[in-house]
Chain A
Amino acid sequence: MSDQAPSEVTVTVNGTEIEAQPGEMLIAATDRAGIHIPRFCYHERMSSVGMCRMCLVDVDTGRGPMLQPSCMVPVADGMVVDTESDDTKRAQEGILEFLLVNHPLDCPVCDKGGECPLQDQTIAYGPGESRFVEEKRHFEKPIPISDLVHLDRERCILCDRCTRFADEIAGDPLIQFTERGNSTQVLTFPDEPFSSYFSGNTVQICPVGALTAAPYRFKARPWDLEETESTCTTCSMGCRISVQSSRNELVRYLGVDVESVNHGWLCDKGRFNFEAINSDERLTVPLVRDQENQRQLLGTDWGSALAAAAEAIGQAGPQGVGIIGGSRLTNEDAYAWSKMARSVIGTDNIDAQLDDGLPAELVLGLPPATIADACEADTVLIVGPDLKEELAILHLRLRGAATRGRTKVVQIGPTATGSESYAQHSIRCQAGEAAKTLTELLSSSDPLAQQLRDGSVVTILGRASMAESADPAISVAAVIRAELPHATFLSALRRGNVRGALDMGLAPGFLPGRVRIDNPSQALLQKWTDIPKEQGLGTTEMLQAAAAGKIETLVLLGADPLCDFPDRNLAAEAIQKVKTVVAIDNFVTSSVAQADIVLPATAYGEQNGTTTNIEGRVSRVIQKITPPGSTRDDWMIATELAWRLGGDLGLTSKDEIWREIEQVAPSHTGITLERVTSDETHEGILVQQSSIDLTLPIPQDTPIADGYGLRLISGRKLWDGATATAHSPSLQHLAEPPTLKVHPNDLQRLGIPSGSEVRVISTRATENLTAVADSNIQRGTAVLPFNQPGGGANRFIDATATINDIRIETL
């Protein structure tokens, strides 16, 4: 978007001329000019409905002043507006009196009290007193409309914000007005809750306390809250949020409206998983496995734990150490670990991804696109995971671009996804065969091929299934590079700061600043003592090496391979085989429970720094609360370990680390600490759109299914068994146990009734699961979510195979 389209319209408001953009609503123009018009139903990210009539102002278009709703009146040149006329004031007083007629005025016990637009505007614009003596409308007090949101219909002023959001923005029209006139109320259908991934947004935009969020109810009063603006790192979208705390506890996140990223919206996972940070189950002291006594993890002091870790790392030697993880870290922490691995330990065996994303080369080498590029492109081509599940706000942005803009969304993949509802075309392909389908499409005379060739194209590229290797995605990239050279890419990587970790060199063969290990900058060589010559191992290779006894010490940098690596068996074998596992984490995850040395790290909201989102946008994360126990920042842990290994990272604060990054990382040149920390850049700064040279292999055919089995497809769900969800009391029950979905005909062929237990057999495991018939699933395939409480697909996957098949049998 261009910053300021040339405005052609001048409107006089309260005697002052203001510039407005043709076609925009008056209220948008006055907002920009800093003239406040009260309102309830208007919301700048949704269509105007003109319901509340609070924004009436005197508008004169040449025929004398008339009260007009400023949210519905498009500006016109020469329009004269009076927002303070007697008529306007009387109308405002009148509307407020009407709104209060049926409002319970229970402000002292209302979550919204103190930050309530109705309360505030009543004080600013309202009548002194109400003349209403009749009985107010009564409804049953708060009723849950979903697992996370409660509705108090007595407080509701029927502004249509929540219902409009559900329909227009989220695409989940599960709440609606019911009844009519004075009996109108917001409701869900009986037994069909408002189970939207975005339900929390309705609480945020409700102008009264009618909608409240279960995790926040009665937690705090607005005047007790401290808040700071930060960036959400739950996934890699990088939504801007306001982090709010009360008495050193995180109590609420609110979305902050930034044009480039989230438009103010958050998914419920990002919004509510602060509960995990407050959890009693957080790691607060270092733990070391007692060698004699039943091999338990026992609390210890930092000195001993660090010494033990350093010893294990030192003894293993550079080739005997593997470091997995790092996408939970801020950029600064990631940089410290990158430096520590290369120049202190001397190893390049480091990988922030768990071989569940795309090779770093692809992420750093494909011509990049921004989120805004995608939302303005003629066509967005999605070849990857279900964005609604994995990058929920990207899904929301694309949905908006497709339903309210001119962007056409085309997706190619093996299963139904949440994007189908707004896609122009949803093309089903066999698992792992998107490249083939795309090639066929592009060589056909289908108008879609023409559309892709002629217009701008942004590809959202990722792994469509955790049960396939990265090869199919690489093939897709190769086809697109060859056939659609104008197309740009956004990598559908999921974990928090994975993009920043890759930029900082947490990938074998890469150094900070998107450079290959054989091509370090002069500046970097001055700061880093030694750099390994050879490219190291990626996660799969490290785990294989560990399983083969070639790696002695495995460092898990906020990684939980037992849950997150596609191949649970390989991960388990590796962890079992290595001599020492050093885990740096916030919680005792499945993998941490197997570790020998556990170092407790600070978590989100407890540390400052920067994070980089999916499109390469660097923005700040801010400390809001003091960390629990003796937890430490990851960069400090790196520094301390380096000391004990006889090195010196030369890093003493996060600010200082950023200054070094700016110097040594070519892609980050010019992104100075001053710029990063300035309020003006709160949307974040796009890292130079630089990319490395990339040679893509010639696409290979995917192996044919063996005919007996079902091709396994596995994606992640928003509500899964992941740590943050599992430790958030309000969220943990939202994740469903895993079920295997199969086409009804396939089940019938096997004589298996839908809903029954079956034996699932792969080359890796044999386990029992519930199989359910689902006609949305392609024949010959089976869909199993990756990581749900009680299990998931990772038990069945062989990470070394391009694709995975399973067999199912009746018990």
Chain B
Amino acid sequence: MSEMTGTPIAHAPGFIANETPRIVTARFDHADSHTLERYEATDGYQALRKALQLTPEEVHSEVTAATLLGRGGAGFPAGVKWGFCPPGVWPRYLVVNGDESEPGTYKDRLLMELDPHQLIEGCLIACYAVGLSQCFLYIRGEMAVAQERVATALNDAYDAGYIGKNILGTEFSVDIVLHWGAGAYVVGEETALIESLEGNRGMPRLKPPYFPASIGLYGQPTIVNNVETLANLPWIVQHGAAAFTAIGTESSPGTRMVAVSGHVKRPGVYEIVNGTTTFRDLLYGADMCGGIRDDNQLKAFVPGGGSAPWFTPDQLDLPFEASQVGPQGSMLGSGAIMVMDETTDIPSAALTLTKFYAHESCGKCVPCREGGTWLEQILRRVVEGRGTPRDLELLIEVGETICPGDFPHAAVPSKGIEAVPFPYRMTTICFVGPSAFAPVHSALTLFREEFEAKVAGNEHPTMIEVAVDV
């Protein structure tokens, strides 16, 4: 066991078990789930042994067959992404995206704190399958406990011969290097992550033309995968792609972790069936969130992380299936559901998110750098009762310079509002700029009357402002 130079601090709470098959959270019930002992006692590193009996191509094919959608936000199938590495260009690297910072998102930290060996085994399988010769495990800077748990696990796995030279006596050799971030949300974006890992300011690189799989870390082919994505690999290798696709739907198989926060009775992190579980199951199901707090009415919810356009009760029956959520005007993103009940003051809720993205802009694109802050300033003015009706138009006009054309939003049949499907067009490099506009746009489109009341000076006495003055 690795030595600890200080006293360990208890890991995170939040996980709530339900009836869904447990793929990535299987060990969470054990108090010592993070130890090598527990891991080995519960099938740990068996998938690696099995993979090493197969050819790298066979492992890759199995992952492709499993249609493992990336869990970092974009939902791109991992096996297909791996195939984008240009042939014959070496070395290739793996960068693990453990920067989890999207508002509302809470799952990768649990996976790192509670089952670090599962992640490590996933990394090893990916490296073996794609010929990645070094792995960098990038953990968000503000996650001291995850850093401790992963460092301990890496040390133990090195000592046990699972990482490093000639793994388990084979030719397969790879180092996994632990790396911490230092506090910048945008670094979660994969090209910014690579910049950061090269010691630079974490500013996204331009796409097109380059995706990291062809030109990434040090200009080399690089696979960037999310923690949860990689954590699925041991199970897939061990049980086979068929077992994985037997769960969920054909286009969204397996399970996924979601975090539900805000005004529900049992906020928590749930492993749910992909593709079939609906938002209603999740928010109202007895084994899940159990309904809205105080049995209040649901007003709105953010279905996929702070960047996602908002849904209202009208969309509750949509399943966790990208092909259904997109046309209805939003996205599943990082599996973060933020719930607002009837007491919520909508403009101020939107302000907390717009402020987030304005603050987290890297500063590279003019529309994001200047537009994001401007949006925040106008919105703050409106929330604080200093706004004018013109400001409501201005919010949209400024937003349209970041995202020209119709911005996606949900339908509210009772108000005669029809859905505009996802995605949007944008004048920026990455999604931070548009994300500053998304909450403003959703709130203003779906709940315009609340903004009008603000600029008219008519406060809603029952609504609770949520913006925090800092």
By a beta-carbon cutoff of 8 Å, the part of chain A in contact with chain B is 48-54, 56, 66-67, 69, 72-74, 87, 90-91, 94-95, 97-99, 101-102, 131-132, 134, 157-158, 177, 179-184
Contact A99 B362 (CB under 8 A): no
- 27 A-B pairs with CB atoms under 8 Å apart are A50-B206, A51-B365, A52-B366, A54-B366, A66-B425, A67-B426, A72-B208, A87-B405, A90-B401, A91-B427, A94-B371, A95-B401, A98-B366, A98-B370, A98-B401, A99-B370, A157-B366, A158-B369, A179-B363, A180-B201, A180-B361, A180-B362, A181-B362, A181-B372, A182-B363, A182-B369, A182-B373
Nearest A residue to B428 by beta-carbon distance?
A53
CA separation between A535 and B158, bound complex, in Å?
79
By a beta-carbon cutoff of 8 Å, the part of chain B in contact with chain A is 184, 201, 206, 208-209, 358-367, 369-374, 377, 394, 397, 400-401, 404-405, 425-429
A102 partner residues in chain B, CB cutoff 8 A: 370
Q: Indicate the member of B360, B362, B363, B429 with the most A CB atoms within 10 Å.
A: B363
B358 partner residues in chain A, CB cutoff 8 A: 181-182
Contact A182 B429 (CB under 8 A): no
Contact B370 A182 (CB under 8 A): yes
Given contacts A98-B374, A158-B363, A180-B184, contact A67 B369 (CB under 8 A): no
CA separation between A219 and B209, bound complex, in Å?
44
* Minimal beta-carbon separation of B268 from chain A (angstroms): 32
Nearest B residue to A176 by beta-carbon distance?
B201
Contact A53 B427 (CB under 8 A): yes
Contact B394 A131 (CB under 8 A): yes
* Minimal beta-carbon separation of B422 from chain A (angstroms): 16
B201 partner residues in chain A, CB cutoff 8 A: 177, 180
Contact A69 B374 (CB under 8 A): no
Contact B370 A49 (CB under 8 A): no
Contact A95 B363 (CB under 8 A): no
B373 partner residues in chain A, CB cutoff 8 A: 181-182
A54 partner residues in chain B, CB cutoff 8 A: 366
* Minimal beta-carbon separation of A283 from chain B (angstroms): 53
* Minimal beta-carbon separation of B253 from chain A (angstroms): 28
CA separation between A94 and B429, bound complex, in Å?
16
Contact B361 A53 (CB under 8 A): no
CA separation between A67 and B403, bound complex, in Å?
10
Contact B425 A67 (CB under 8 A): yes
Contact B369 A184 (CB under 8 A): yes
Contact A134 B366 (CB under 8 A): no
Contact A95 B374 (CB under 8 A): no
A179 partner residues in chain B, CB cutoff 8 A: 363
**Which of A51, A91, A101 contacts B374, CB < 8 Å?**
A101
13 more A-B contacts (CB under 8 A) besides A66-B425, A91-B401, A180-B363? A50-B365, A50-B429, A51-B365, A67-B404, A72-B206, A90-B400, A91-B404, A98-B369, A101-B370, A134-B374, A134-B377, A158-B363, A182-B358
Q: Indicate the member of B362, B364, B371, B426 with the most A CB atoms within 10 Å.
A: B364
Number of A-B residue pairs having CB atoms within 8 Å of each other in the complex? 96
**Which of A53, A74, A87 contacts B366, CB < 8 Å?**
A53
* Minimal beta-carbon separation of B382 from chain A (angstroms): 13
Contact A182 B428 (CB under 8 A): no
* Minimal beta-carbon separation of A61 from chain B (angstroms): 10
B429 partner residues in chain A, CB cutoff 8 A: 50
Nearest A residue to B380 by beta-carbon distance?
A134
* Minimal beta-carbon separation of B324 from chain A (angstroms): 23
Contact A48 B209 (CB under 8 A): no
Given contacts A98-B374, A134-B377, A177-B201, contact A87 B208 (CB under 8 A): no
A90 partner residues in chain B, CB cutoff 8 A: 400-401, 404
B405 partner residues in chain A, CB cutoff 8 A: 87
Contact A94 B361 (CB under 8 A): no
A132 partner residues in chain B, CB cutoff 8 A: 374
* Minimal beta-carbon separation of B49 from chain A (angstroms): 43
Nearest A residue to B202 by beta-carbon distance?
A180
Contact A181 B365 (CB under 8 A): no
CA separation between A795 and B413, bound complex, in Å?
93
A74 partner residues in chain B, CB cutoff 8 A: 208-209
CA separation between A651 and B358, bound complex, in Å?
72
Contact B364 A51 (CB under 8 A): yes
Contact B206 A184 (CB under 8 A): no
A94 partner residues in chain B, CB cutoff 8 A: 367, 371, 400-401, 427
B369 partner residues in chain A, CB cutoff 8 A: 98, 158, 181-182, 184
CA separation between A52 and B429, bound complex, in Å?
10
The 4 A-B residue pairs with the shortest CB-CB distance, nearest first, are: A94-B401, A184-B363, A98-B370, A181-B361
A158 partner residues in chain B, CB cutoff 8 A: 363, 366, 369
Given contacts A50-B206, A94-B401, contact A56 B362 (CB under 8 A): no
A184 partner residues in chain B, CB cutoff 8 A: 363, 369
CA separation between A134 and B404, bound complex, in Å?
23
Q: Indicate the member of B366, B367, B405 with the most A CB atoms within 10 Å.
A: B366
CA separation between A177 and B363, bound complex, in Å?
10
Contact B377 A56 (CB under 8 A): no
CA separation between A134 and B397, bound complex, in Å?
16
Nearest B residue to A54 by beta-carbon distance?
B366
Nearest B residue to A183 by beta-carbon distance?
B363
Nearest A residue to B397 by beta-carbon distance?
A131
CA separation between A48 and B361, bound complex, in Å?
20
CA separation between A38 and B268, bound complex, in Å?
50
Given contacts A67-B404, A67-B425, A182-B361, contact A95 B377 (CB under 8 A): no
Q: Indicate the member of A52, A67, A101 with the most B CB atoms within 10 Å.
A: A101
CA separation between A73 and B210, bound complex, in Å?
11
Nearest B residue to A179 by beta-carbon distance?
B363
CA separation between A91 and B409, bound complex, in Å?
22
* Minimal beta-carbon separation of B367 from chain A (angstroms): 6
CA separation between A459 and B175, bound complex, in Å?
44
Nearest A residue to B361 by beta-carbon distance?
A181
**Which of A48, A66, A99 contacts B206, CB < 8 Å?**
A48
B426 partner residues in chain A, CB cutoff 8 A: 67
CA separation between A397 and B201, bound complex, in Å?
28
* Minimal beta-carbon separation of A668 from chain B (angstroms): 47
B206 partner residues in chain A, CB cutoff 8 A: 48-50, 69, 72
Nearest B residue to A100 by beta-carbon distance?
B370
CA separation between A87 and B371, bound complex, in Å?
17
* Minimal beta-carbon separation of B372 from chain A (angstroms): 7
A50 partner residues in chain B, CB cutoff 8 A: 206, 365, 429
* Minimal beta-carbon separation of A152 from chain B (angstroms): 18
CA separation between A745 and B374, bound complex, in Å?
61
Nearest B residue to A90 by beta-carbon distance?
B404
B374 partner residues in chain A, CB cutoff 8 A: 98, 101, 132, 134
* Minimal beta-carbon separation of B16 from chain A (angstroms): 36
CA separation between A181 and B427, bound complex, in Å?
16
A183 partner residues in chain B, CB cutoff 8 A: 363
CA separation between A132 and B401, bound complex, in Å?
14
Q: Indicate the member of A98, A99, A101 with the most B CB atoms within 10 Å.
A: A98
A97 partner residues in chain B, CB cutoff 8 A: 401
A49 partner residues in chain B, CB cutoff 8 A: 206, 364
CA separation between A91 and B365, bound complex, in Å?
13
Given contacts A50-B429, A177-B201, A181-B360, contact A99 B366 (CB under 8 A): yes
Given contacts A50-B206, A72-B206, A90-B401, contact A95 B367 (CB under 8 A): yes
A180 partner residues in chain B, CB cutoff 8 A: 184, 201, 361-363
A72 partner residues in chain B, CB cutoff 8 A: 206, 208-209
CA separation between A95 and B369, bound complex, in Å?
11
* Minimal beta-carbon separation of A164 from chain B (angstroms): 12
B209 partner residues in chain A, CB cutoff 8 A: 72-74
Nearest A residue to B204 by beta-carbon distance?
A50
CA separation between A99 and B373, bound complex, in Å?
12
CA separation between A67 and B405, bound complex, in Å?
11
CA separation between A231 and B65, bound complex, in Å?
66
* Minimal beta-carbon separation of B43 from chain A (angstroms): 44
Contact B359 A53 (CB under 8 A): no
B359 partner residues in chain A, CB cutoff 8 A: 181
Nearest A residue to B365 by beta-carbon distance?
A53
* Minimal beta-carbon separation of A406 from chain B (angstroms): 15
